[in-house]
Structure 1
Amino acid sequence: MQILKKYPLLILFAAFLIITSIADMFVSRREFSEMENRYLEQRPKFSFAQLWRNEYTPKYEKYVNDQFIGRDGWITLKSVSESALGKIENNGIVYGKEHHMFEYYRTTDERRIELNTGFINKFIGQYGEKTPITVSIIPNSYEILDDLMPAGLENIDQQAVIAKVYSELDSRAKTLDLEPVMRRAVAEAKKNNPQSFPGTESQIYYRTDHHWTTLGAYHAYRAFIQSRGLQAVELGALEPLAYYVDGFYGSYYSKCKLFSAVPDTIEVYDIPFDSITIDGEEKSTLHDLSKWTVRDKHAGFLWGNNGLTVIKSENNLNHAEGETSRVLLIKDSYGNPFAPFLTYSYDEVWVIDLRSLPQKMSELMEENSFDDVLILYNFMNYASDTNVAFMTY
C-alpha cells in the first residue's frame, strides 16, 4: 500500500499495460479498419535473418500499433481531446465551417506539374491534328469553398497554377476552365438550399472526402458538352433516376478521424445503358453496388479506377442516324461519377485510367477513332501523378 501511495501513476500505468497485454492475447486480429479505410499490419513471420538486418522489429512494432486492443476507441479519444484543446488540424486535414474538411496544401511539386504538362503536350502533338482534345484541371475544394476555410491558412493558389499550365499547353488543344463553373455551381446550390447544412443533395464537394459530388461532376459535364457545341442532358431529366447512399466517410475523415464528423450522402443516378465492359469483361450494372455497403463507398462509381471502360447506350441526345460518336475520357477518380453523364451526348464513352491501362495508348488511338478527347484531372493529382507519362507510350 505504501508503494501504491508513493507511486500511484506508475502502478496504474503498469497495471494498465499488464491488463491490456493479457486482453490483447484473446482479441482476434483484424485485417481491415473500417474507421481508417485501410488494411492493418499483420503479424510478421519471424526469422533470425530479418532480426539481424533490423527488419523484423519495425514490422512487429507496426503490427502491435495497428492491432492494439480498442484501437478505434483510442483514436476517437485522441480526436476528442484535440478538439477540446481547440486544434483545427490533424494529419494534414484542416477543419472548416459547416463540417467541411480541407487539405492543408502549402507546397506543390512544380517539377511534376512541368513534366505532366510536357507529357500532355506530346500527346496533343501526336493526335491533336485529327482529334479535338480538351484539357481540364479540376480545382480541389479549398479553392472553391474558400469562405468555409479557416482564416490565414495560405494554401497554394490553385487557379494561378492551373492558368499557368493552360498557358503552356499546345495551342492545338482547347482548355476548359472549371473554376468559374464550380463557383457558379456552389452559388446556385446555396440559392436553392440556403441552409447548406446538411444539404447533401446540393453540395458540390463532399465534406469528408477530396472528391467533388455527383452534382459537381454534372456541372462540369454540362460545361464540357456546351463547349463542344453539343446538347447536354438537363438535370431535371435525371431526377427520377436518382437514389442516395448514406453514411459516407471519405478520405479526409480517414486521415483525421474527427469524432464530430458529419457523414456525407452520395447521390447516384441509375442511368440506362446497353453495355459496359471493363478491361474486356462485361458488367451487368454501371456501378459496383456492393461498395455502397462498405466504408470506401466512392470506389463503387464505375467499378473503381480500371484501365479501360467502354459504355454503350441509346441515351445520346445528339445521335445522327447511321453514325457512332465516341468520346475518350482520360481521367483520375474524379472522372468516375462524371463519365456516365457523357452517355447523353455520345453513343460510346471510352474511359481510361492510366494507372491501370492494359495496353499502350498509341495502340488504342491507332485502332479507334474519337470525336472528342477530354483529359480531366483534379489539381492535386495533376501535381503528383507519375502515370501521366503513359499517355505518350
Structure 2
Amino acid sequence: MKHNSKLNIIIFLTFIFGFGIFNLALFQSDKISSLEQRVLTQKPVFTLARLFKGEFTREFDNYFADHFVFRNTLVKAGARLMNLKGLSGSNEATLVRKGGDNTVKNNTSSDAQYLILNGHSYTMFQYSSGAAEAYAKALNRFKQAAGSKVRVYSLLAPTSAEFIDNDNYKSMTDSQKKAFAHINELLDPGIVQIDAYNAMAQHIKEYVYFRTDHHWTALGAYYAYTKTMEAMGQQATPLSRYEKGNIEQFLGSAYKATLNYKLKANPDTITYYKPFVNYSFTRHLSNGKTLEQSKVVSPDYAKPSIGLYSAFLGGDFPWGEISTDNKNGKIMVVKDSYGNALIPFLLPHFEKIYIVDPRYYKESLTDFVKKQGITDVLFINNSTVARTTGIADLLNQLMDTKK
C-alpha cells in the first residue's frame, strides 16, 4: 500500500513538473487576446523587494495564467459550458453571471448578470432604493455648493435591459423607469431633468443599443442629445449635418464577459458622426500625460487593447477640455462612459466643454466649476447609479476634496 502511494505521488509530481516545463517551452507571449478583446497581463518586473512583499509572485501567477499553453482552447471550452446552461425550458436564451462589472470603478457589488436572447445581450438591472437616494443626495449637494448661477442638469440613461421585448424574460430585470422616477422626485427643483428614457423608448426599434455591449450607440446618444438641447432651450443640430463613418466587427463588453458564441456570430457596427465645427481637444490621462490636438471621434482610437467603443473621445480619462469658436457658455459634463458618445454632439452649442469622469478624477468638482467659470453642469450616468452607490460615493468624495 505504501509503495503504491509513493508511486502515485511520483507520477503526479512528474506530470505537474512535466506539464510546467511543456508550458514554458510553448509559452505564449501575445500582448492582446483577440478572443477576449483585452490586454493580457505582461511579465512583471523582478526585484527582491517586490519578491519579499509577494507582489512579484502574485503578478507572475496572473501572467502565467494569461499565457498558459492551449489557453484559448480552454477558455472557449469554458464559455461553451456556460452557454450550455441556458434557461430552464428555453433553447433560445442563456443567462450568465460574471464578476468584474466595470461600470463603476472599485464597485464592491461587481457581479453582472447577462441575458443572451436572440443574439442580443442584456445586462440585467437590480434596483436599490438606497443607491437611488444616495445619487439624488449627491446631485443635490453639488447643486447647493455650485450656487444659483450655475445651471445643473441630470440625464439618466436607461440600458437595453429596460426594453427587453419578451414577456418571459422582462420580469427578470427591475424597472429602470421606476428607479429613475424615484431619483427624479428626490432631486432639488433647481436641477433640470432630461428625459432620455422616453427618447430611447420612442426609438427602440432603431439601432440605439449595441447587441454585444452595454452601451448605447451614437444614434441612441443623439436622441438623448436632442432631449438635452430641448431642456436647455436650444435647437438640436440635425443628424444630416454630420459626416458619418463605420467600424465593423465590434464585439463589446458583454461578449468579452461571456464569450457567448451567439454574440460572436452577431457582431455590432459602430457608426460615428464627425463634428463639423472647428475645435481643439485636450485629454489629461491617469498616467499624468496630456494629449493635445486629439479628435473627439476617430476610428484610430478603436483598438482591441482599449476597446472599439473608445472611438468616442478615445475612451475614459480623468478630465479633458474641448474648445470651439463659439461664444456661448462653458459646460462641464460629469459622466460615465455613456457620455462619451453624446459629448461630441455638444460642440455646436458651447465655447468650452469640460469632461470629467469621477471614476478617475481626483480634484474638487466645485473648485473646478469656480476656477473655469463654468455656466452649465450636466451629469450623465446610466442606471447603475440606481443599483450601487459607487458613483454617489465618488461624487461626495470629490466635493470633500480640498486642494
Residue of structure 2 equivalent to 1:387: 394
* Per-residue deviation, 1:324: 3.2
The answer to whether the 8 A contact 1:276-1:286 is kept is yes
- Aligned match for 1:300, one of 270, 290, 311: 311
Residue of structure 2 equivalent to 1:330: 334
Q: Secondary structure at the match of 1:336?
A: helix
The answer to whether the 8 A contact 1:242-1:270 is kept is yes
* Per-residue deviation, 1:115: 2.9
Q: Secondary structure at the match of 2:331?
A: strand
AA partner of residue 141 (structure 1): S
Map of 1:129-278 to 2, 5 A cutoff?
129-143=148-162, 145-147=163-165, 151=169, 154-187=172-205, 189=206, 203-238=207-242, 241-261=243-263, 262-272=266-276, 273-278=278-283
The answer to whether the 8 A contact 1:225-1:232 is kept is yes
Residue of structure 2 equivalent to 1:290: 300
Q: Which moved more, 1:117-126 or 1:73-82?
A: 73-82
d(CA) in 1 for partners of 2:68, 2:231: 54
Aligned residues: 356
AA partner of residue 97 (structure 1): L
Identity of aligned residues (%): 24
* Per-residue deviation, 1:163: 1.0
Q: Secondary structure at the match of 2:249?
A: strand
Distance 1:52 1:305, change over 3 A: closer
Q: Which moved more, 1:259-268 or 1:85-94?
A: 85-94
Distance 1:294 1:47, change over 3 A: closer
The answer to whether the 8 A contact 2:23-2:68 is kept is no
The answer to whether the 8 A contact 1:354-1:390 is kept is no
* Per-residue deviation, 1:333: 0.9
d(CA) in 2 for partners of 1:174, 1:115: 18
Q: Secondary structure at the match of 2:185?
A: helix
Q: Secondary structure at the match of 2:302?
A: helix
Q: Which moved more, 1:131-140 or 1:377-386?
A: 377-386
Residue of structure 1 equivalent to 2:120: 100
Q: Secondary structure at the match of 1:351?
A: strand
The answer to whether the 8 A contact 2:32-2:304 is kept is no
Residue of structure 1 equivalent to 2:105: none
d(CA) in 1 for partners of 2:41, 2:294: 35
For residues 106-160 of structure 1, give each alpha carbon's deviation from its aligned partner in whole angstroms, at most 9, with x where no partner exists.
464x4444333222111111224112211121111101x2215852652222221
d(CA) in 1 for partners of 2:299, 2:19: 42
* Per-residue deviation, 1:312: 2.4
AA partner of residue 282 (structure 1): E
Distance 1:152 1:275, change over 3 A: closer
d(CA) in 2 for partners of 1:360, 1:390: 8
d(CA) in 2 for partners of 1:100, 1:300: 22
TM-score (norm 2): 0.77
Q: Secondary structure at the match of 1:181?
A: helix
The answer to whether the 8 A contact 1:329-1:376 is kept is yes
For residues 211-267 of structure 1, give each alpha carbon's deviation from its aligned partner in whole angstroms, at most 9, with x where no partner exists.
1100010000001101221111012222xx100011211111111001232211111
Matched, 1:376 2:380: yes
Q: Secondary structure at the match of 1:174?
A: strand
Distance 1:149 1:112, change over 3 A: same
Distance 1:93 1:71, change over 3 A: farther
Distance 1:223 1:57, change over 3 A: same
Residue of structure 2 equivalent to 1:7: none
The Cα RMSD (Å) is 3.2
Q: Which moved more, 1:241-250 or 1:93-102?
A: 93-102
d(CA) in 2 for partners of 1:332, 1:281: 20
For residues 32-83 of structure 1, give each alpha carbon's deviation from its aligned partner in whole angstroms, at most 9, with x where no partner exists.
4233244434567899999999988776654443322122222223333444
Matched, 1:311 2:314: no
| Structure 2, unpaired ranges of 5+ | 1-10, 88-93, 99-111, 285-289
AA partner of residue 114 (structure 1): E
Q: Secondary structure at the match of 1:182?
A: helix
The answer to whether the 8 A contact 1:99-1:207 is kept is yes
TM-score (norm 1): 0.79
Distance 1:111 1:337, change over 3 A: same
Map of 1:79-118 to 2, 5 A cutoff?
79-84=79-84, 86=86, 88-90=94-96, 91=98, 92-106=112-126, 108=128, 110-118=129-137
Residue of structure 2 equivalent to 1:125: 144
AA partner of residue 356 (structure 2): I
Residue of structure 1 equivalent to 2:8: none
| Structure 1, unpaired ranges of 5+ | 1-10, 190-202, 317-322
